[in-house]
Amino acid sequence: MNFLDIGNTRIKIKTWSGNSWQEMYNAPTEHATEAGNWIRQQGKETVGISVVPDATDAINAALGESKVLKWFTIADLPEKSVDYESKDTLGMDRYMACLGARTMADKPVIVIDAGTACTIDYMDDRGVYRGGVIMPGMALWEKALQQYAPNLPKVVRDIPMKWPGKNTEDSVRWGLSGAFISAVDGLVRRYDYVAALYVTGGDGDWLAKRIERRAVVNSNLVFYGMKKLVEARLWFG
């Protein structure tokens, strides 16, 4: 079985092979039609999630009458496993990442997904998703400053050694990397301190090395979550 994850910037398809994940397909999200054609040609049972409706529609159109792909929706989640007021708008990637982390930790989990958007979510020790935070990812912070203050220098993504910034470059670095990391640290502190902390997403490695709490980095949390739900619900018989 293949597992499909459509994020804001990338389409990823992986399969569980023995005891590890094998990447089968990786392309920009705007190549959704090509991804749909690839899925149809492979003819392999696939489950997926998507946070980009246009990409979802493009894949469905490319699949035509093929029934090899099933999209996870909120209706597929275990009853009473989501404590969230607007369930219909919950990004399935947020739930799946938390579920994936819970398969590795016998305790509550906090999951930071540091991608285009940065989410910080919580799942308790009973496997109930309790909600979280959605904020701009680090790249969006940088892009916004460059777009609206183009005369400021482009800087290395890191925190300066000295506080406060003693030159314009260091001041910008504090305002970007420093502010982003401080925001993440402050939001994580609002959760249960005994919870295990996991980090995923394209900026996950960078972020995990700089936040104040020790975190486990795992780029496959969403895929572990989908795999767990498939095993629990026995999709495709």
pLDDT tens string 82-123: 999 999 999 999 999 999 999 999 999 999 999 999 999 999
Q: How confident is the model at residue 237, as a pLDDT?
A: 42
* Model pLDDT, residue 234: 53
Residue with tokens 């996950």: 204
Q: What is the pLDDT of residue 236?
A: 47
Residues of the chain with pLDDT below 50 are 236-237
Which residue is catalytic, options 5, 93, 170, 203? 93
**Is 93 one of the annotated active-site residues of the chain?**
yes
Written as one letter, the residue type at 188 is V
Please tell me the distance from the alpha carbon of residue 209 to that of residue 167, in angstroms, as a whole number.
25
